[in-house]
Amino acid sequence: MTAPGRRAAVLGHPIGHSLSPVLHRAAYRALGLDGWSYEAVDVTEEGLPAFVDALDGTWAGLSLTMPLKQTVLPLLDHVEPLAEVVGAVNTVLVQGGGSGRPVLTGANTDVHGLVAALSEGLAAAGAGSSVGAGPSAGVQSSVGAAEAGVGTAVLSEPGAGASPVPARSAVVLGAGATAASTLAALAQLGCTAPVVHVRSLGRTGALARAAHRMGVEPVFRTLDGALDAMARADLVVSTLPPRAADDLAAGLAGGSAGAPRAGAVLLDVAYDPRPTALHAAWSAAGGVAVPGERMLLHQAAEQVRLMTGRPGPLAAMDAALAEALDAPAAPVG
């Protein structure tokens, strides 16, 4: 029997590059949700209020990418605790409606995606070898443990979620909404004092306030010196836009700083080009590099769960993602 049709979409500006439709449509096919649709819609910050105001009961939810993750906050009826403390919403759940306006609830699945992707890298580092892109049961168990207590407590206690390899130090590149989600993910993995390297120290206010709400105590520095910090870190997460880290990659490849320490994990959330220059340079220097699409995959699977009420079919979504990228999924390692 065909499930009742519902609508969903990813919003952002620009949006033509988004792989979210590939992931969500694959999930709907695997779940037998034949009547469900998922589109990519170019929406600016100025256009978001009108789009949200036009939502009705046919909608199940929205995925949000840049630059809308913070713009949407005042337009929502409710914000889930994790998204509230992070200060960024990448998922809007549309509930009810009938003859009136539906109830809009904001959530954040980026943190889930980051924890899952970093856990894959930590598992690979602990095994001392590269692993395939497919998630293992062990990684999924560690993600569940790391997220235990998220809800009323907002963030689990540092170290409460035992990651495959306990992380001791972390470096974050960038200061936007994804950086805030990264601080939350690192806190769940036991890193509560990361070094955050940014392009402008004058634009760290929102991230500093989010960190305070989380109980995280980052040290803010400019991108100068980031290579040296990366060489000393156990975890490095780049939230910089595509190609913005290419100079760092060139410095790493050229030996401008020491090689990554043994078992150090890098996640570059950008996934175009694939691999990114930073991913390739880190891997060549001996570090464990996690492809950015791993975060995309895991956060999308969590969005599917929230919107449909059924677990996201990770294997089907992973296969569709690899096909869309026109290559086997890049391995972790």
Query: DSSP state, 7?
Result: E
**Which residues, including other chains, have CB under 8 Å from residue 294's CB and lie 6 or more apart?**
113, 116, 117, 120, 133, 267, 332
Catalytic residue among 69, 112, 294, 298: 69
The strand ranges marked E within the chain are 7-12, 37-42, 59-64, 78-79, 91-95, 103-107, 170-173, 195-198, 219-222, 235-238, 265-268, 288-290
Under 8 Å between Cβ of 329 and 322: yes
Q: Contacts from 204-208 at CB under 8 Å and sequence distance 24+? A: 204/175, 206/70, 206/87, 206/175, 206/180, 207/175, 207/176, 207/179, 207/180, 207/183
Give the integer Cα–Cα distance in Å for 134 and 117: 11
- Would you call 69 a catalytic residue per the annotation? yes
Cβ pair 271, 240 in contact under 8 A: no
Rounded Cα–Cα distance for residues 228 and 241 (Å)? 21
Structure tokens at 6: 């519902």
Which residues 6+ apart lie within 8 Å of 54 measured at CB? Answer: none
Amino acid at residue number 217:
E
Three-class SS of residue 211? helix
> What is the C-alpha to C-alpha distance for residues 158 and 156, in angstroms, rounded to an integer?
6
The total of other beta-carbon atoms located within 10 Å of residue 1's CB is: 5
User: What is the spatial distance between Cα 162 and Cα 143, in angstroms, rounded to a whole number?
Assistant: 9
Which residue type is seen at 308? Answer: T
What are the catalytic residues?
A: 69
